Structure 1
Amino acid sequence: METPDIAVEPPAKRIRLSTPEQLKNDSSNGAGQNSKAKPQEEEEDTQLEKELKAGINAYINPATPGFSGTLKQRYTDFLVNEILPSGKVLHLQTIGAPVQKNGKKEEVKKEEKAVRVESKPVEQHAGKVAAKEDSVAKNGTPQKPVSKLSEEDRTELVEIFGEDVTASIIQFHEKILAEPDRKAKELGSIASNTIEDKDDRTKAHRAVRRIFNSTMETTTGDNNTIAISKAFVQNNKWGRVTAGAERAKGKLGWQELGGEYLHFTLYKENKDTMESIHFLATQLRFNIKNFQFAGTKDRRAVTVQRISTYRVHADKLAALNRNLRNAKIGDFKYENTGLALGDLLGNEFCITLRDCHFPGEDGLDMEARLANAKQLLSRAVSEVQESGFINYYGLQRFGSFSTGTHEVGTKLLQEDLEGAIKLILDYSPEILAAAQRPDGEVTNISSDDRNRALALHMWENKADLQDVLAKMPRKFSAESNIIRHLGREKKGLRISEKDWQGALSTIQRNMRLMYVHAYQSLVWNVAAGKRWELYGGKVVEGDLVLVGDKEEADGAPREEFDEDGDVIIQPGVDDSAATDGDFARARPLRKEEAESGKYVIEDIVLPLPGWDIKYPSNEVGAFYKEFMGSERGGRLDPHNMRRKWKDISLSGGYRKLIARPGTAMEWDVRVYRSVNEQLVKTDLERIYKASLKAKNGEEPKAEENDDEGEVAEEEKLAVVLKMQLGSSTYATMALRELMKAGGVKSYKADFGGGRGG
Structure 2
Amino acid sequence: MEEEAKSDSDSEPCFMSDHEGFFGSIKNSTRDFAVTEINISGQLVTETTLVDNVSSQLYDSSGQMCPGGELKIEGNLTPLTTEDVKVKTDCIPEELCCAAVECHNVDTAAGECEEAFDLEAVLGPAANEALERFATSVRDAPRRDSIADRTELFLGAFAEKHQRASVHRAVRHLFPFLVTLTNKTEVLVKEDPDYRELASLVSEEEAEDFFRFIDAKVPNASFTFAQDDSKEHRKAVHHFVSKRFGKLVETKSFSDVSGPGLQKTAITVRFRARSKPAKKRTAADCQEESVIYTGFTLRKENLETLEAISYMAAMLGVLPSDFTYAGIKDKRALTHQSMVVKKISPERLLQRRPEFEKKGIQLSHVHPVSQPLHLGRLRGNRFQLVVRDLRPHTPDSTADLPRLVQEALDNVKVKGFVNLYGPQRFGAGQRVKTDQVGLALLKEEMVEAVRLFFTPDEGDDLQNRAKKHFLQTGSARESLALMPEQRVRERLMLRALHRRLPLLCLGHGPSALRGDLVWAPGERGQGEGQTPQQIHVVTAEEEAGCVFSLRQVVLPMPGNSVTYPENAVGPWYRARLEKDGLQSCRFRVTSLKLNVPGCYRPLLAFPRNLTHRLQGLPGGSPEEHEAPLGPPSGPSLALLFDLDSSCYATVCLREVMKCDP
Per the shorter chain, which TM-score range?
Answer: 0.3 to 0.5
TM normalised by structure 1 equals 0.40
TM normalised by structure 2 equals 0.45
